[in-house]
Structures are given as structure tokens and as C-alpha cells.
Amino acid sequence: MNVVYRGAEATLYRDKYLGIPVIKKERKPKKYRIREIDDIIRKERIKKEVKMLKKAREVVKTPHTLQVNLKDHSIVMEELEGSTIKKRIEENQENPQKLGREIGKMIRGLHDKNIAHNDLTTSNMIRKGGEIFLIDFGMAEDTHRIENKAMDLLVFKKMLKSTHWKVDREIWENMKKGYRDEKTIKKLKEIEERARYL
Amino acid sequence: MNCLGIESTAHTLGIGITKKEEVVANERSIYKPSPGKGIVPSEAAKHHSKTKKKVLEDALKKANIEKEDLDIVAVASGPGLPPCLLEGVKLAKKLSNQLKIPLVPVNHCIAHIEIGKKDCKSKDPLVQYVSGGNTQIISQSGNLYRIYGETLDIGIGNAFDKFARNLGLQMPGGPKIMQLAKKGENYIPLPYTVKGMDLAFSGLVTEATRKSENAEKEDIAYSFQETALSMLIEVTERALAHTKKEELLLTGGVAANTRLQEMNQLMAKEHQADFYVPKREYCGDNGAMIAYTGYIYREKNQDPKEVDINPTWRPNTYKIPLPK
């Protein structure tokens, strides 16, 4: 198996499963943290990911899970041939207005299903064909609280500001148009106003 | 060209001098709160006011120059505690007016980054900046330092100090927790709060304090430290994978924590990134970093009348002069 990507959460390998090309996502032990913390986090996140992926699949595009192995903390998923939205924005392959609205609609779908993703970055969004696939549900939570949904948006907004500073406002304004939920946006403003720095 | 830098954002009154890019003096005096207490801003400001004359004299003597040989004065005008910042800015304005030399306001966080880069010969790092009041994951993109992740409530150093005080330990609490943690063996589960690349420490402090009543001090200190630092490394790792930077620079007062250094080293290695920690005297608050940054950013000099303190100054608003 060859390493395709070494992320913060997991390492991805290219593999074959019943003859089809797949990706094995393995949450390897982190050498920097003690075993007790490492065990809790890896176990919790893989369970969460499997559960939330299943729920999320009803409203967003996400790769199919083919096999879950709790022993080595790995998930086998269908392989996604595409590139990250991060890379595509950097290479000017995305229209910020269209992209913003598209992402807004996608997040709204999740939130209506009471899912907060909690790591909404453009590294976790992959364009395949005409559609955006969302990955990495390890930190996601099942929540009806508007506060959690607003925090989810805040993570995305701050990521835009740091990573895509040339087009962050354009994407964000259009994200709001696609998201179309004034109540959550209002809550987000409240959180920002009481935040430490903003 | 001689630049004098004044640091007074929190408990340290530091005055440093650089000759072009070389540090030739780095003197300081540190305010120590009374036992069992945290920093009292007005008391710290009094300390700075009382000691500045002596620290300034020491710095000039160390650099072996006269006041009149100075060409630029730089001051950390934020972020920090307002009464403390005022003392530094007052002194800077006085020197600038008296000697008729330009005044350069410097962002304290950026000064930590710039001196760290210089000391470690690092070019384009992802920076883990950890101190009492600040906890940020920062990196340059375009002509600004961008904040990728940060604490949503208190700084990690402050979290260590608060928890130490709750355990009845004297300030500074960070080193004492680290020492106790070395003897801890049993992990007690504690809240772990991470949101994307951001993190929060208040819940951890509260719960660790509550659980400390029925646990060995060493064990709870160990569990607290491991949890807080694991959270920090996790968000840093996420930012490293996201930005694809090839260098990691640890700086700020909390960089003195050897367990934190060890964890960063292990994490960086997995991503084939080079890991750097500046010399101890440049990790804590110091005047040399303000002098050095003032010198390399000297084109940002301002009319002394317009310079004011900026207690909540975010580093991502301070434009970096790019090579022309």
C-alpha cells in the first residue's frame, strides 16, 4: 500500500478492495501524545466519523464507506478522483461567487440535519465531476444547538480569512446567500462580538 | 544604524539594542506578583516605571554606546495590558522627541516571530506562539502574517498559571506544573476542546481543579499538561498539513516547557518539517526582539504624536515590508 496523503488526522493509502481501487484511511497512533489520550481520541473519532458519515450522506456528497476496522482504527472508502477546493482556489479554477453559494447550500443541508462538521476547511472539500464532496467527519457532532452550528460557520470563516485572503470576502458573502439562515448568521455575529480578539 | 527597542506589554520591562541586524544588548527587569496572586496590571506598570531608568542605562552600557548614538527607537505598542503598554510608549516618545529620531511602533507577537526566525535561520515557518496571554498558530502568506488557529478563551500560559494557583502553587505556575507532571504516572481523563484549528482551555482548568481534590498532585498535573499540550499540538499539526509549510517554529514564554518541545519535535518529524526553538532569552518577552523588528520594519516609522497604545492589536493587520 502506498501513502497518498499524510494529514493531521490520518494517513491515506491507496489499496484494492474486492478488486476496486479504494482509499484506506488509518488513524495511526500519534507518537507525541500519551497512549491514554491517543486511544480515547482515535476510538472516539473513528466511531463518530462512521456514524456521522452515514447521517451526512443523506444530504451531502461524501465517499462511500466500504469497511470499518476498529482494531487498527481504519476506514476503507471509495477512491475520489478529484482535487481539493483549496488547491482549485489557489489555481484560479473556482468561481468564488458560485463556489460560495454552493458551499453555503451544502453546509445548510448539514445543519438542517443537525450535523456540525467542526472542521470545515477547503482541504476537506473535494471537487469531483461537477460536485463537491465533503470528507473528514471525525470531529463532527450530532447537535440541534444553533450555537454549535454558528461555531461551525466561524471555523470556516476564519479559515477563509487566513488561507484564501484574496477571495475570502467574496466567498463568504456568497456562502451566506447559499446558506440562507438568518438566525444562525445572527448567532455567529453574537459569538464574534464576544470573542477574545475579533 | 542603532535601534533601541522597548518591551513592556506584560510583566517584563525589556530594553534591547541592535546594531543593524545584530543584537548588542538585551536587558530586562521582571515584575513578580505577590505570592498566590496573578499579575496586577497597575502594579506591573509601577514596576516598569520604577525600573526603566536602570534597565535603559544597563542596555546602553552593554551596547557600549551613548544615548546620542541611537538612530531609531522602537516600542511594542500592543497587544498587551494597557497600563504596562503606556509606560513603554511614554518612554519611547520621550526618547524619540529628545533625540529627534524616528519612532517605530512594533506588534509584540510579530516581534516574537521575527527574532525567532532570525535566531533559528528559519525562512517561512508555521509559528506556534505560546505565552501567558497569547496562543496562536500563525504563518505568513502574501504581505501579512495570517492566524490559522488560536485560543478562543485564555492563553495556554495563563491556563497553566491559573491551574497552578488553584493547586496552591506559587507563580510562575507553568514551570511548577511541568516539574510535578514529570512525577505523574496515572492519567485522569479531562476535557479536550478543539474546534477546527482553534482551541479552548477554561473547561480544562475548571475540571482539572475539581478533580484535583481526589487525586495525587503529580497525577493531576501530568494529566492537565498532557491534555493541554496534546490539544495544542493537534491544532498545530492540522495547520501544518493545511498550509503545507516545511518549518515549524515554537516561540513565546511557554516554549520553555521541555515536554512541549519534545512533542513538537515528534510531530514535525512525521511531516518531514524542520523544528526550531529560539534561544531562551528570545522566547520570553524581551527588548531585543522589539529593537530588531523595529530595525527591519523601520520604514513604518510614525510621527511620535500619532503613536498610541493598541491593547488588542492583531498580528494579521500589520503589513510586512516585502523585499522590493
Is the Cβ–Cβ distance between B101 and B63 less than 8 Å?
no
Mean pLDDT for back-to-back runs of 10 residues, chain B (324 residues): 97 97 97 84 96 98 97 96 97 97 96 97 97 94 93 95 92 91 97 93 97 96 98 97 95 96 97 96 96 94 89 89 65
Residue A189, classified by CB atoms within 10 Å of its CB into exposed (0-12), middle (13-18) or buried (19+), is exposed
Q: What is the DSSP string of B37-84?
A: ----HHHHHHHHHHHHHHHHHHHHHHHT--GGG--EEEEEEESS-HHH
Cα nearest neighbour of B139 on chain A: A162
Alpha helices in chain A, H assignment, sequence order: 35-56, 85-90, 96-112, 146-163, 168-179, 182-194
SS3 call for B143? coil
| Contact across the interface for B196 and A163, Cβ inside 8 Å | no
Q: What mean pLDDT is predicted for residues A1-12? A: 84
CA distance A18 to chain B (A): 31
- % of chain A beyond a pLDDT of 70: 98
Grid coordinates representing B18? 541592535
Neighbours of A29 (CB within 10 A): 12
| Contact across the interface for A33 and B230, Cβ inside 8 Å | yes
- Supply the CATH classification number for the domain B2-112+283-317: 3.30.420.40
Of A9, A120, A162, the CB nearest to B148: A162
Q: Helix crossing, A168-179 with A146-163: angle to 10°?
A: 150
Of A37, A118, A195, the CB nearest to B230: A37
DSSP lists the bridge partners of residue B198 as B195
The interface predicted TM-score (ipTM) is 0.89
Strands A125-128 and A83-84: antiparallel
Of A8, A30, A36, the CB nearest to B241: A8
SS3 call for A15? strand
Q: What mean pLDDT is predicted for residues A168-189? A: 96
Cα nearest neighbour of B187 on chain A: A36
Among all residues of A, which ones are annotated catalytic? 119
Encode pLDDT of A36-52 as tens digits: 999 999 999 999 999 99
Amino acid symbol at B235: V
Q: What mean pLDDT is predicted for residues A154-170? A: 95
Q: B264 to chain A: which residues are within 8 Å by CB?
A: 32
Model confidence at A71, pLDDT cuts 50, 70, 90, reads confident
For the four alpha carbons of B201, A158, B318 and B114, in that order, the dihedral sign comes to positive
Q: A165 to chain B: which residues are within 8 Å by CB?
A: 141-142, 144, 146
Question: What is the pLDDT at residue A179?
Answer: 97
Which residues touch B171 (CB under 8 Å, ≥6 apart)?
B32, B33, B35, B36, B37, B38, B161, B164, B165
CA distance B236 to chain A (A): 9
Count contacts between A and B (CB, < 8 Å): 91
Question: What is the pLDDT at residue A197?
Answer: 53
**How far is the C-alpha of B119 from the C-alpha of B277, rounded, in Å?**
9
CATH 3.30.420.40 range(s) for chain B read 2-112+283-317, 123-281
Question: What is the pLDDT at residue B12?
Answer: 96
Is the Cβ–Cβ distance between B32 and B51 less than 8 Å?
no
Q: Is the pLDDT of residue A198 over 50?
A: no
Q: Which of B195, B243, B263 to mutate to test the interface with A (most CBs of A within 10 A)?
A: B195
**How far is the C-alpha of B155 from the C-alpha of B202, rounded, in Å?**
10
Strands (DSSP E) along chain B, which ranges? 2-7, 12-19, 22-30, 72-78, 103-107, 126-130, 135-141, 144-150, 194-195, 198-199, 247-251, 274-276
CATH topology (fold) of B123-281? Nucleotidyltransferase; domain 5 (3.30.420)
Encode pLDDT of B40-52 as tens digits: 999 999 999 999 9
Question: What is the pLDDT at residue A196?
Answer: 61
Residue B180: which of B169, B191, B171, B188 has the closest Cα?
Answer: B169
SS3 call for B28? strand
Is the Cβ–Cβ distance between A184 and A146 less than 8 Å?
yes
Question: What is the pLDDT at residue B35?
Answer: 75
